[in-house]
With several copies, the nearest count.
Chain A
């Protein structure tokens, strides 16, 4: 998860999630950085609205609980 934590740290700090930035953060924590993982991370996050993604699953279950029952018989 280090890579994701690094990305969220950058996001929270209002910085862009670039390969360079992610690498810098990981290194500062003493992580031996794997370029491919950084690339994969940045690519995956490219089209994602992080703010939404953070809150989505976190908030959704509350709303989901009710329809869950309704959906069950379907």
Chain B
């Protein structure tokens, strides 16, 4: 460590110290990739995060040095460096931080050489282009185009780049002409350090819809248990009564207990049985009288 210190110019030394302080003063430290984010958007993001999280941009070498000097498990963050990294400090928990950063993402046009974050689909339908070289450009990237009513029309919906594939120059050009913005641009959280552990994006992405479903599912189970075990609660007593009544009716109808309350159900059941047999008989040549079918 002493070795590093001696060789660092003053401003670098200060920078490293500032990074170390940031890490020590916040429970959560994230690594984000700033690569390809326009400066204007970085400013927007900073503004959106103000009061919640602080973005610290620096050279990767200096961040690495700070992490090395601190040592311990936080240094594991180094393994998640990618592109042009920046640190993000917050007092929020890492899940919340991940969610916040996802929310700051916006859609941008694709640049040649970028990787498609999802299948890029060009929908069929009319365009505003007049006939010209554009038709050839479309065809070169596999988009079937025709001229219709003096305008270029895309004949069928096409997936031009699959998720994970590189977007080449020609495709990028066509997409930009069509105004398709496939890229998610924003601070991508590479990893977050929290209380001795490094969390990856896969661990941090929470599916709220799935969570709501689990809640609903758990509530159903509780409802079922309460009714099936006949444990009355304010919420379920109505259903429990209903169940008991249904059971009693079922038994009564099934066994043919001729009680006033269910005699109409029994009549209905007999009538349905008659109809079922009548229709089966009809299918085999027995003429039903009109009354039967009424």
Contacts and interface: CB of A to CB of B under 8 A. Distances in A.
Contact of A62 (B239, B255, B273): B239
Given A4-B278, A8-B270, A48-B281, A59 B234 contact: no
Contacts of B226: 1, 4, 58
A7 B277 contact: yes
Interface residues of B, number: 96
Interface stretch (B60-68, B91-99, B146-154, B172-180): B91-99
Given A57-B254, A64-B275, A40 B242 contact: no
Interface stretch (B30-38, B69-77, B133-141, B212-220): B212-220
A41 B286 contact: yes
A50 B215 contact: yes
A68 B275 CA distance: 7
Given A8-B271, A36-B203, A41-B258, A53 B232 contact: no
B172 to A, nearest CB: 35
B206 A1 contact: no
A58 B195 CA distance: 39
A56 B93 CA distance: 30
B48 interface: no
A64 B249 CA distance: 15
Interface in B260-294: 260-282, 284-289, 291-294
B121 interface: no
Interface string B6-18: 0000000000000
Q: Majority SS of interface residues in chain A?
A: helix
B95 A1 contact: no
Q: Chain A interface residue count: which class?
A: 35 or more
Given A41-B286, A44-B234, A57-B241, A1 B261 contact: yes
A5 B207 CA distance: 18
A44 B263 contact: yes
B157 interface: no
A50 B225 contact: yes
Contact of B272 (A2, A41, A57): A57
Given A44-B260, A57-B264, 16 more contacts: A1-B273, A3-B230, A4-B269, A8-B270, A37-B258, A43-B232, A43-B285, A45-B232, A45-B255, A48-B264, A53-B215, A53-B273, A62-B242, A64-B272, A71-B213, A71-B282
9 contacts: A4-B225, A5-B274, A12-B291, A42-B93, A43-B260, A46-B284, A47-B237, A53-B277, A64-B217
Interface of A: 1-5, 7-8, 12, 19, 35-37, 39-50, 52-65, 67-68, 71-74
